[in-house]
A and B are shown apart, each in its own frame.
Chain A
Amino acid sequence: MKRLQIHTLTKDQKNNIILVMLVLLIFLLMTILSPRAFLRPANLKGMAVQFPEFGILSFGMMIAMISGGIDLSLVGIANLSSIVAAVVMLQMGDSVFSIVLGILAALLIGALCGVFNGFLIGYLKIPAMLVTLCGLQLYSGLGLAITKGPALTGLPEAYGEIANGSLIGEIPNTVLIFLVVAVAVAYLMRSTIYGSHVSFMGTNEVASKYSGINNLKVTMYTYIVSGLMGSIGGILISSHYNSAKSDYGKSYTLLTLLIVVLGGTDPSGGKGNVLGVSLAVIVLQMISSAFNILRVNSFVKTFVWGLILIGIMLISRIIDTREKQERRTQ
């Protein structure tokens, strides 16, 4: 019985294998087309600094989507928390203590935004899409109110090292942070009680309630975790530019949505895995830098992202209907 199961791959595994092949394909293609530019350390480093930003935001989106919701406010949370961190650091001066305090403030803001989202969604039962869409406006608006428009600059130099430096050898810190977060989220989703509860709730909210799962608590945790992902993403973005502003990373909302869907997360909830999302992050980063190297107009990216999103959804829909038909004829 066990042996049989190894041969029959789950849908997740199939999806992930396709993603790995995509990574290899793009890598091969680029090493052939433009080996110098693509394999140049500067390019690799550039990629490594960028993908963790939206990669971590994508984990937030993934968790919200597994729970049966969506989090469109992530970018707003990212900017608001980095702005608050910047204010704290500018007040406290240039010291390690000030940076730590700034980061803690950012995380706190992320969690608070999550509490707000979670309360409206879980307690007042307002649709997640509406809540987080409003949340985006609210958090960005608050950020704008604090900065009064221009970016907050003059952050401690050491803060910039978070995203731009490398503590261990040549590996950029951002990659390390991404790996740590990925492992933590994977652990949370796969190996904890919360992880099981959230995917039960995402599969069938009513059955989850009738199974004794506290949906309100699970929803609150979900948006707090996704809020924390937002603030970590915000820290990386602001550290990368060494400044904070209310409208950084505007394109990331679409990008994160695209990534989680590409990574095999079910938009109707209940299913998703960190490995798939991580692979999707890498695929998109590679496409993105391939575009840069091939000197394709950067707006073409937006165009292609849209096409990929629609394409992926269409393909999985067609596969689904085909499977359903096969089941019916059996």
Chain B
Amino acid sequence: MRTQITKSLTTNEAIVVYTIVALSLAIGFINPAFREFSTAITLSRAMLVTLIFAVLEMMVIVSGGIDVSFPAIACFSSYATLRLILAFDIDSVFFFYAVAGVMGIAFGLVNAFLIAKMELPALIATLGVSSVANGATLAFLGTKEYSNIPEGIDQLSKTFLFSYTNSNGITFQMTSLILIPLVLLILAYVVLRHTMLGRGIYAIGGDRFAARIAGFNVTRIQYIIYMTAGFLAAVGGVTYTILMRQGSPQNLMGSEMMVIAAVVVGGTRITGGHGTVFGTLSGVLLIAIVQNNLIMVGVPTHFQSFVVGLIIVLGTGITSIRAKRVANSSKV
């Protein structure tokens, strides 16, 4: 029991949590505004879409792959669906998510075919798909940004779970869209931890060949992974559109970098096989705190990108070195 506790205190996840606590204390000390409850609301909003992407990326990386195509897929499917909605005057949230979701799954199918069936390197395959999806969005769907989101759909961005007024009289409202990543996190936890499908994802990431011998249908699981990733990318894209109340063909492009970093900082090994939902949540939280509060502690805006880069290098470096140490440590 005692060893159990010490073990859980030195995991990657635990270290990220310590860092978050230390960082929060430091920021709170420098800037009292951070100590207010409103911070939680601001952070939740900032993390909302990143969390959706991080869950899908974590799942893909655990299986031994990588997906850099999700921003492009998210943009394509949400933007294309929005244009349909505007063109035919379909004011339905369900339609938005469902049609975009189907498009996302279609892209995921392409990824899966290239990676599982043709056995191309995941990075290059998804980079190619990313380019195709992004190019298609801009070339065939246009570059215009839409802010005339239909009333019914737009309503979702104005529904709140609760609101909070701080000492200065400013009101903060918790968007109900936060439920999407919350439900997703719980679902991902249950699937990855308590179903054979989930364990199969870990098994493939640990040893593809052994997984096949054990009786997993490796190709099928990979298809499920990449198609789910495509679907979640679309969900993320639609959620972002509703949250921002604006449809844009490429404002999510480039977010893959930060998402991969958050996942790896959260203890997921880039080589596959290891990673948890809780770790991913803490990784996203850590990066969100850094990104959102650098100004608060007096880091100039133009330095932010660099500081975030530095933290990512440190975070990923530490994770990789720890993984290496485990590999080299004496065995029992």
- Which of B121, B137, B140, B271 contacts A127, CB < 8 Å? B271
Contact of B305 among A141, A257, A268, A309 (CB under 8 A): A141
CB contacts (< 8 Å) of A127 on chain B: these are: 270-271, 320
Contacts of A314 in B (CB 8 A): 114, 118, 120
Taken together as a complex, chains A and B put the C-alpha atoms of A140 and B257 apart, in Å, by: 12
Q: CB of A29 within 8 A of chain B?
A: no
Asked, given contacts A124-B317, A124-B321, A317-B119, whether A141 binds B308 with beta carbons under 8 Å apart, the answer is yes
Interface: A108 (CB within 8 A):
no
**B:291-332 near A, CB below 8 Å:** 300, 302-310, 312-313, 316-317, 320-321, 324
Interface size class of B (residues with CB under 8 A): 35 or more
Q: Which of A281-330 contact B (CB under 8 A)?
A: 297, 299-307, 309-310, 313-314, 317
A306/B132 contact (C-beta < 8 A), A120-B317, A145-B305 known: yes
B248 within 8 A of A: no
- Whether A309 pairs with B270 at a CB distance below 8 angstroms is no
Complex interface: chain B residues within 8 A of A302 (CB): 131, 134-135, 138-139
The interface residues of chain A, by DSSP majority, are classed as helix
CA distance A303 to B249 in the complex (A): 14
CB of A22 closer than 8 Å to a CB of B: no
Expressed in whole angstroms, the minimum distance between the Cβ of A264 and any Cβ of chain B is 14
Q: Are B257 and A148 in contact (CB under 8 A)?
A: no
- Cβ of B264 under 8 Å from chain A: yes
Check A297–B306 contact: CB distance below 8 A: no
- SS class, residues of chain B in contact with chain A: helix
- The answer to whether A254 and B135 touch across the interface, beta carbons within 8 angstroms, is no
Which A residues from 146 to 185 make CB contacts under 8 A with B? 147-149
**A residues in contact with B103, CB < 8 Å:** none
Asked whether A144 is an interface residue with its Cβ less than 8 Å from the other chain, the reply is yes
| Chain B residues whose CB sits within 8 angstroms of the CB of A147 once the complex forms | 302
The answer to whether the Cβ of A138 comes within 8 Å of any Cβ in the partner chain is yes
Residues of B within 8 A of A135 (CB): 313
Closest to A305 in B: B131
Whether a CB of chain B sits under 8 angstroms from the CB of A24 is no
Identify which of B123, B124, B300, B308 contacts A137 (C-beta below 8 A): B308
Are the C-beta atoms of B135 and A301 separated by less than 8 Å?
yes
CB distance from A112 to the nearest CB of B (A): 15
Assembly CA distance A312 to B303 (angstroms): 40
* A299–B302 alpha-carbon span in the complex (Å): 29
Taking the closest CB of chain B, its distance from the CB of A204, in whole angstroms, is 18
Query: Provided the pairs A303-B135, A306-B135 are in contact, do residues A144 and B124 lie with their beta carbons within 8 angstroms?
Result: no
Residues of A within 8 A of B (CB): 70, 120, 124-127, 129-130, 133-142, 144-145, 147-149, 246, 254, 257, 261, 267-268, 297, 299-307, 309-310, 313-314, 317
* A-B contacts, 15 listed (Cβ < 8 Å): A124-B321, A130-B264, A134-B312, A137-B305, A142-B306, A144-B306, A147-B302, A268-B121, A299-B138, A306-B132, A309-B124, A310-B132, A313-B125, A317-B118, A317-B119
Q: Which residues of B contact A (CB under 8 A)?
A: 66, 114, 118-121, 123-125, 127-140, 143, 257, 260-261, 264, 270-271, 300, 302-310, 312-313, 316-317, 320-321, 324
